[in-house]
Amino acid sequence: MEVPADKLWGAQTQRSLEHFRISTEKMPVSLIHALALTKRAAAKVNQDLGLLAAEKASAIIQAADEVLAGKHADEFPLAIWQTGSGTQSNMNMNEVLANRASEILGGVRGMERKVHPNDDVIKSHSSTDVFPTAMHVAALLALREHLIPQLSALTDTLRDNSHAFAASVNIGRTHL
Confidence of residue 95 (pLDDT cuts 50, 70, 90): very high
What 8-state DSSP symbol labels residue 50?
T
Going from N- to C-terminal start, the domains of the chain cover 11-164
Percent over 90 (pLDDT), the chain: 80
What 8-state DSSP symbol labels residue 74?
G
The model's pTM = 0.87
CB 76 within 8 Å of CB 96: yes
CA distance linking residue 154 with residue 166, whole number of Å: 18
For 11-164, CATH gives 1.10.275.10
In the predicted model, is pLDDT for residue 176 greater than 80?
no
Percent over 70 (pLDDT), the chain: 98
B/e letters for 45-71, b = 16+ CB within 10 Å, e = fewer, are ebbeeeebeeebbbbbbbbbebbeeee
Work out the end-to-end distance of the chain between its first and last CA atoms, rounded to an integer number of angstroms.
70
Look at residue 137 in the predicted model and tell me its pLDDT: 97
96-115: average pLDDT? 94
In the predicted model, is pLDDT for residue 64 greater than 90?
yes
CA distance linking residue 63 with residue 173, whole number of Å: 59
Percentages (nearest 5) of helix, strand, coil residues in the chain: 65, 0, 35
Look at residue 28 in the predicted model and tell me its pLDDT: 94
CA distance linking residue 38 with residue 4, whole number of Å: 27
The sign one gets for the Cα dihedral 9, 15, 18, 21 is: negative
CA distance linking residue 17 with residue 23, whole number of Å: 10
Look at residue 107 in the predicted model and tell me its pLDDT: 93
